Amino acid sequence: MSMKIYPLFFLLILFFSCNNAVETFPKEEENHKEIPSDWFHAQRSYPSGKIDKKAFLQALKESRISTVQAAQRNPTAEWEFAGPTNIGGRVTDIEMPASSMDIMYFGAASGGVFKSIDGGNNFDPIFDDALSLSIGDIELAPSDENIIYVGTGEANAGGGSLAYDGVGVYRSDDAGNSWTHIGLENAGSIGKVKVHPTDPNTVYVATMGNLFSNDGQRGVFKSTDGGNSWNNILMVSDSTGVIDLTLHPDDPNIIYAAAWERIRRPQYRKYAGPTSGIFKSTDGGSSWTELTNGLPSDPLDKGRIGIAIAPSNSNILYAAYAGGDGFISGAFRSNDAGNNWFPINTFDLDDVPFMWWFGKIIVHPTDEDKVHYLSLNTFKSGNGGNNWEMIFQGQHVDQHALFIHPADPNFYVSGNDGGVYISQNEGVDYTFVNSLPITQFYGCEIDNQNPQSIYGGAQDNNTIRTLTGNVDDWEAIVGGDGMYPMVNPDNNNIIFAGYQNGFFFKSTNGGNNFSDATNGIVAWDRKNWNTPKIFDPNNSNIMYYGANRLYKSINGADSWNAISSDLTNGDPGGNLISGTITTISVSPLDSDVIWVGTDDGKISITTDGGGTWDSSSDIPNRWITSVAANPFAVSSAYATLSGFRYGENIGHVYKTNDDGITWDDISGNLPDVPVNDIIVHPILNDLYIATDVGVFVSKNDGQTWETYCVGLPNVVVTDLDFHEGTATLLAATYGRSMYKVVLEEETSVINFEAVDFKATVAPNPFSISSKLNLTVEKSGQYRIELFDISGKKIKLIFDGDLNKGEHQFLISDEGLTKGTFICNIYNSKNQRVSIQIIHQ
């Protein structure tokens, strides 16, 4: 096995001062300890190493019911799309009917299927009712273009959308208006779907199985009744799936299948082996023969294989092989229907150590010598592979799809990790389709000073932002896999961004230039793929950075000092976890109180600014995704967990009231599904959580939960952010960009804890004055304050001792503008009742 080193890789890992000219770097597949699919899978499978797919599917169904109920409760409350459309995301397949140049179907890695009827100017999602929006392949029946098959589960072995694989195959008989699930729900990911040229009910599906486990749902499946029943017609082994499939254009009984031996575990992969190879059937899949003459025989050279047949000459086939080291091991051509093969030139092609990420071959519909190779970039040969030239130069890297229209062979549509590009002249010139909302986000941020400015960290699409709040003017400011962007709440010229494994940068001029912001952070400390960093809510110059130790900066990240020892269980040495901090929270009531959660199930607290630390033993052993200090009680916090129960009596949302000594499960009626983030409303104390099946809210401190509003697509919600001034909740999704909603108003009394006092306000709404009636069951000290909806305190109504009994206080319109206000009543334990009041 040879080692190949290219200067490109050194350039990709160098950070530069950017002037809004951002390259995508570094490649997530380049020998990093983790890549997105590992990170997504690991947190959901820790500690068992497996994902409970049945529980996840049940959670999806429960969330559907909850969404319907939410719509019934408040039919006008709906999430609003926040963008972007002009950034794109990973596209896995492109299809067009032969009869139309205007109709296009695009499949996204984790965003569903989109359809355009105007040549790509506008797109609508047409697959959002499906249980999985991870798309492997789309196929239109040649004899009836209204019949569409969709195989779910992205078959590319990385990128984060593979934590759950797919749920099988769907069929539409009305050009995508409605869909029916037709089986193969255990097929994992689907590499290719092919339909008989004259019989739309005869369909072949190439399956790769589940990425992170071996199983029998691999190979080629065939249905002759439109998907009502399936037969496994090619099964090579439980670790070998079929990644590509092609049918003879004149004799559909002749089938070619590319098998790929692939074993993947978190932080381990074996992407080649002796069972990889090209198989041929001449009897519709009843029997198969492996083609070997002239093709690689060394198991280390037999990795992912792309295969294609020339539509204009069915004797000519092309194949491309990736080796076990990830590089190209060869490209080949056959002139005699696969009996014999000879090598073609690969020196003109990209050769990067993750060729298993793409590696497809596409032959021109009218010229058997014009062949296309998809890798980091797109290449075309006009002489059967003797020479290659790059086309679509300058488009986003990582090519996964290319459609050449048979009615106009100059019309090319390219799909990659950045979206879709359309060319009228074989890729010489092209336009970017800027109307696809399929960006995969890790994190989101609203600029506190300018809430129209929204920031996000996107998988393979940089740290990006809009300064206007529009959906189509987002721009990149830092490259790589963007993570959690941060805007200084008091000075939005100070912006922080980074990329995977702890790289972190600072701008002091509004994002025009960035410089390294990790001075003092030890390079060999362990860092999570998505390393957490936060501002102290009481002082934005104070910041925290989580490696395996917690770091603190008192000068806005100009320098850092560790304020803890290792807060994890230590280096796990290549297990499901990396032994790192995953979440940090500082109490807004006391900056010396800091909470830290880790990927190995630990939560630690310091009450003296890092001098001493205590760890909780009362929390389940799951990946801690978020800890949020309670803004109303200094000894209280909330924590969210990833993973599944697997029969254990555990939840996914917990609360402590005693500095983490004990934790109470407040998951209530939540489904068994990973929870990724929690927001505590700073006025109402409502709890909002981001889960793998949507956003939920609890208005009674976790006793019960319900889906919050409608309108979110069925994708993982990775992160939430809340802007107090506009009461806006922002949700980052992994596959469908971002959504936002202005939190609905509440006019009722809300009791959040078992308090010993009750309050009502009447009249409400009021114009001149209103009365607060307070019933005190236990004598003590009480405080009554009035806040505007942004969280700013307007006036102190009362602060003093009250005896047991009835009390009344006047709320006048003095100093009040018309609008909505929150009246908070606190007792000596800082327990609180909140009442929303409307002054009109």
pLDDT at 26: 39
The CATH number given to whatever domain includes residue 775 is: 2.60.40.10
Pairwise CA distance, residues 46 & 623, whole Å: 7
Q: Residue 46 falls within a domain, yes or no?
A: yes
Residues 693 and 595 in one domain: yes
Residues 700 and 784 in one domain: no
Written as one letter, the residue type at 777 is E
Which residue, chain included where needed, has tokens 């409760």? 73
Mean pLDDT of 721-740: 94
Pairwise CA distance, residues 339 & 344, whole Å: 16
Residues 56 and 124 in one domain: no
At 548-582, the pLDDT tens digits run: 999 999 999 999 999 999 999 999 876 678 899 99
Weakest mean pLDDT among 444-448, 810-814, 835-839:
835-839
Residues 324 and 423 in one domain: yes
With bands split at pLDDT 50, 70 and 90, how would you rate the model's confidence at 269?
confident
Residues 62 and 116 in one domain: no
pLDDT at 768: 86
Closest among 134, 38, 43, 39 to 673, alpha carbons compared: 43
Instruction: Retrieve residue 214's tokens.
Output: 């071996």
Q: Can you say how many angstroms the Cα of residue 576 is from the centroid of all Cα atoms in its chain? A: 19
pLDDT at 5 over 80: no
Pairwise CA distance, residues 256 & 274, whole Å: 18
Instruction: Retrieve residue 298's tokens.
Output: 């060394």
Residue 145, sorted as left (phi over 0), alpha (psi -120 to 50) or beta, turns out to be alpha
At 317-349, the pLDDT tens digits run: 999 999 999 999 999 999 999 999 999 999 999
Q: Residue 150 falls within a domain, yes or no?
A: yes
Domain span at residue 605 reads 32-76+526-708
CA dihedral for 502, 594, 45, 184, sign (positive or negative): negative
In the 8-state DSSP scheme, what is residue 276? -
Residues 68 and 102 in one domain: no
With bands split at pLDDT 50, 70 and 90, how would you rate the model's confidence at 266?
low
Residue 303 CB contacts under 8 Å (≥ 6 apart), including other chains: 260, 271, 272, 276, 321, 322, 323, 324, 326, 329, 355, 356
Q: Residue 321 falls within a domain, yes or no?
A: yes
For the chain, percent of residues with pLDDT exceeding 90: 74
- Per-residue DSSP letters for 296-356? --SGGG---EEEEEETTEEEEEEEEEE-TTSSEEEEEEESSTTSS-EEE--TTS---TTGG
With bands split at pLDDT 50, 70 and 90, how would you rate the model's confidence at 376?
very high
pLDDT at 534 over 80: yes
pLDDT at 25 over 60: no
Say whether the peptide bond before residue 365 is cis (omega within 30 degrees of 0). no
Give the phi and the psi of residue 449 in degrees, each rounded to 5: -85, -30
Q: Residue 333 falls within a domain, yes or no?
A: yes
With bands split at pLDDT 50, 70 and 90, how would you rate the model's confidence at 268?
confident
Q: Can you say how many angstroms the Cα of residue 467 is from the centroid of all Cα atoms in its chain? A: 23
Residues 175 and 256 in one domain: yes
Q: Residue 583 falls within a domain, yes or no?
A: yes
Q: Residue 159 falls within a domain, yes or no?
A: yes
pLDDT at 640 over 90: yes
Residues 691 and 783 in one domain: no
Query: How many domains is the chain built from?
Result: 3
pLDDT: is 597 or 824 the higher one? 597
Q: How far is CA 395 from CA 121, 169, 721, in A?
A: 18, 31, 32
At 417-433, the pLDDT tens digits run: 999 999 999 999 999 99
Mean pLDDT of 692-710: 93
Say whether the peptide bond before residue 47 is cis (omega within 30 degrees of 0). yes
Q: Which of 651, 677, 708 is the last residue of a domain?
A: 708
At 276-325, the pLDDT tens digits run: 999 999 999 999 999 999 999 999 999 999 999 999 999 999 999 999 99
Residues 131 and 279 in one domain: yes
Q: Which of 432, 461, 492 is the last residue of a domain?
A: 432
Written as one letter, the residue type at 150 is V
Q: Residue 673 falls within a domain, yes or no?
A: yes
Q: Can you say how many angstroms the Cα of residue 540 is from the centroid of all Cα atoms in its chain? A: 28
Residues 770 and 672 in one domain: no
With bands split at pLDDT 50, 70 and 90, how would you rate the model's confidence at 465?
very high
Q: How far is CA 480 from CA 154, 281, 284, 427, 486, in A?
A: 22, 43, 45, 26, 16
The CATH number given to whatever domain includes residue 699 is: 2.130.10.10
Q: Can you say how many angstroms the Cα of residue 730 is from the centroid of all Cα atoms in its chain? A: 15
Residues 347 and 238 in one domain: yes
Q: Which of 399, 432, 465 is the last residue of a domain?
A: 432
At 190-235, the pLDDT tens digits run: 999 999 999 999 999 999 998 888 877 899 999 999 999 999 999 9
- What's the whole-number average pLDDT of the chain? 90
Residues 213 and 315 in one domain: yes
Residue 20, sorted as left (phi over 0), alpha (psi -120 to 50) or beta, turns out to be left
Say whether the peptide bond before residue 26 is cis (omega within 30 degrees of 0). yes
Q: Give the number of residues written for the chain.
A: 840
With bands split at pLDDT 50, 70 and 90, how would you rate the model's confidence at 497?
very high
Q: Can you say how many angstroms the Cα of residue 702 is from the centroid of all Cα atoms in its chain? A: 25
247, HSE (Cβ side, Cα atoms, 13 Å): 25
Cβ atoms within 10 Å, residue 490: 12
Q: Residue 90 falls within a domain, yes or no?
A: no
